[in-house]
């Protein structure tokens, strides 16, 4: 079980360490374990609870109200929140949820194919798969599903994306750009990376796909050889990166000649220091827009 310091929790949840201590004192919200020298530390379960509390606070609840709730009530509120956020394609998403809970591969694939037929693969990713994965994340957070469920469905989604990527004919174009795609060491959530691969190839650009869990030290050599216009990565797994900003800054140092595009839920929830070679993409439509419409390869982006 992973141990988190109070500053790790601050980084991952955006709740100030000071505030966490005050909550502990005023509401006995979470009583952390202590080291021999009286330093607080937290485990996975505590992190989940903090993430849940953070979501409920964002939804407008007060900390005094949350403090009165049982863990069960917090969980059900979170699940209700995820229901509210899912619009339009809620039927398909519910069907995917059921298939996941029943570990029913046939049902999952059929639901996905039906959606792709009626919406296209891109729209299915946007309107169905991402909201579904968001819901899966919530379900994991409150303990409704276990890692096996998550592995089961991610495998199926990845398979479908790989098939879609292979079905694209490679077109050589004078204006084609080169993208290098990778996930850093410890990061295994590959769906967004595969989807980016699909988007780039379908727009007639070139991709060097390096996949998941890649040590940073190996990247510079590959990038020097391939010399991409952009390097794209995603940060999603909060249990691996205690401070996303530090990791991004390290990537920029390791890759000193290229523009880095970073996306994923961790950059959505954390403050990433701006850099002249860094583009932070917080939402998928922004990524699609960037890949589709970027005509300014030499223009660099500043984000806040």
Q: Which is nearer to DNA, 114 or 246 (CB)?
A: 246
Q: Which is nearer to DNA, 26 or 80 (CB)?
A: 26
Q: Minimum CB separation from DNA for residue 275, in Å?
A: 21
Q: Which is nearer to DNA, 6 or 280 (CB)?
A: 6
Q: Which is nearer to DNA, 68 or 166 (CB)?
A: 68
Q: CA–CA distance from 58 to each of 51, 53, 55, 166 (Å)?
A: 11, 9, 5, 41
Q: Which is nearer to DNA, 38 or 293 (CB)?
A: 38
Q: Which is nearer to DNA, 25 or 172 (CB)?
A: 25
> Would you say 255 and 221 are in contact if contact means Cβ atoms under 8 Å apart?
no
- At residue 160, the 3 state secondary structure works out as helix
Q: Which is nearer to DNA, 15 or 138 (CB)?
A: 15
User: How far apart are the C-alpha atoms of 176 and 173, rounded to whole Å?
Assistant: 5
Q: Minimum CB separation from DNA for residue 285, in Å?
A: 30
- At residue 42, the 3 state secondary structure works out as strand
Q: Minimum CB separation from DNA for residue 166, in Å?
A: 47
**What residues have CB less than 8 Å from 14, skipping those under 6 apart?**
54, 269, 270
> Would you say 58 and 36 are in contact if contact means Cβ atoms under 8 Å apart?
no
**What residues have CB less than 8 Å from 70, skipping those under 6 apart?**
none
User: How far apart are the C-alpha atoms of 253 and 258, rounded to whole Å?
Assistant: 10
Q: Centre a 10 Å sphere on the Cβ of residue 284 and count the other Cβ atoms it contains.
A: 18
Q: What is the DSSP letter of 169?
A: P
Helices (H), 210-263: 219-226, 244-254
CA dihedral 76, 57, 46, 151 (to 10 degrees): 60
Q: What is the DSSP letter of 212?
A: S
Q: Minimum CB separation from DNA for residue 3, in Å?
A: 12
Q: Minimum CB separation from DNA for residue 267, in Å?
A: 21
Q: Which is nearer to DNA, 21 or 155 (CB)?
A: 21
Q: Minimum CB separation from DNA for residue 47, in Å?
A: 15
Using CB under 7 A, list all residues that contact DNA: 5-7, 16-19, 21-23, 25-27, 37-40, 57, 62-65
- At residue 179, the 3 state secondary structure works out as strand
Q: Minimum CB separation from DNA for residue 295, in Å?
A: 41
Question: For residues 66-89, b (16+ Cβ closer than 10 Å) or e, as one string?
Answer: beebeeeebbebbeebbeeebeeb
Q: Minimum CB separation from DNA for residue 27, in Å?
A: 7
């Amino acid at each position: 079980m992973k141990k988190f310091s109070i500053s790790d929790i601050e980084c991952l949840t955006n709740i100030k360490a000071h505030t966490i201590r005050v909550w502990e004192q005023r509401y006995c919200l979470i009583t952390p374990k202590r080291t021999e020298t009286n330093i607080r530390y937290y485990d996975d379960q505590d992190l989940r609870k903090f993430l849940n509390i953070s979501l409920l606070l964002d939804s407008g609840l007060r900390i005094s109200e949350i403090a009165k709730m049982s863990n069960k009530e917090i969980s059900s509120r979170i699940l209700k929140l995820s229901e509210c956020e899912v619009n339009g394609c809620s039927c398909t998403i519910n069907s995917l949820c059921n298939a996941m809970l029943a570990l029913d591969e046939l049902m999952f694939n059929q639901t996905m194919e039906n959606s792709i037929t009626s919406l296209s693969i891109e729209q299915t990713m946007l309107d169905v798969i991402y909201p579904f994965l968001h819901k899966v994340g919530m379900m994991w957070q409150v303990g409704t599903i276990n890692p096996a469920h998550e592995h089961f469905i991610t495998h199926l989604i990845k398979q479908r994306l790989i098939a879609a990527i292979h079905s694209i004919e490679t077109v050589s174009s004078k204006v084609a750009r080169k993208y290098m795609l990778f996930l850093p060491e410890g990061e295994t959530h590959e769906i967004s990376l595969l989807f980016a691969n699909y988007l780039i190839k379908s727009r007639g650009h070139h991709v060097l796909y390096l996949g998941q869990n890649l040590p940073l030290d190996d990247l510079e050599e590959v990038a020097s050889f391939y010399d991409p216009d952009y390097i794209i990565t995603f940060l999603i797994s909060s249990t691996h990166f205690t401070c996303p900003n530090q990791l991004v800054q390290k990537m920029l140092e390791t890759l000193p000649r290229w523009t880095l595009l970073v996306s994923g839920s961790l950059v959505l929830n954390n403050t990433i220091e701006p850099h002249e070679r860094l583009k932070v993409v917080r939402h998928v439509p922004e990524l699609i827009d960037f890949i589709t419409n970027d005509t300014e390869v030499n223009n660099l982006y500043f984000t806040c």
